Amino acid sequence: MSIDSMFVHKMWNDHELSKMVKDGVPFPMLSDAGGKIGTLYGVYDPDAGVENRGRFLIDPDGIVQGFEVLTPPVGRNVSETLRQIQAFQLVRASKGAEATPSGWKPGKHVLNPGIDLVGKVWENWTTDMAFD
């Protein structure tokens, strides 16, 4: 979503993005002329007249589970976005019985929050696990 019109989105997709991604962008490119939606989400910069790089993860119940907002010069890490979605999906599927500690990625050890874990995280998780 950006402040550009849907016509400009079409031109960008057809003339540039489709050269990077076969068949073009697979999801809707939305228009937020005037920044009303960006303002609602706290990412519209009225001085610059554009949106900052905001990324929101919204779960199947419509609840915001996480977000990240960067100023324009620095791009995002899509792998990290996917990792977070996988982690939230795991937690949701376990109905909260499992939690993903720092550095978790699919296949890595999860934690089971509860009274037995109190004071025992050190037995289940080490600092090197926070990194790849």
Residues lying near other proteins in the complex (CB under 8 A) are found at 1-13, 16, 25-34, 36-44, 48, 50-67, 72, 75-76, 81, 85, 88-89
What sign does the dihedral 39-53-71-13 (CA atoms) show? Answer: negative
Own/partner pairs for 115-122, CB < 8 Å, 24+ apart? none
**76: helix, strand or coil:** coil
CA 92-94-97 angle, 5° bins: 110
What's the min distance (Å) between Cβ of 121 and other proteins? 22
Residue closer to other proteins by CB (options 6, 97) is 6
Contacts of 98 (CB under 8 A, 6+ apart): 90, 91, 110, 111, 112
What's the min distance (Å) between Cβ of 1 and other proteins? 5
Residue closer to other proteins by CB (options 73, 107) is 73
Residue closer to other proteins by CB (options 34, 124) is 34
Residue closer to other proteins by CB (options 28, 114) is 28
What's the min distance (Å) between Cβ of 47 and other proteins? 13
What's the min distance (Å) between Cβ of 101 and other proteins? 18
**Which two three-digit tokens encode residue 77?**
């890490």
Q: How far apart are the first and last CA of the chain?
A: 31
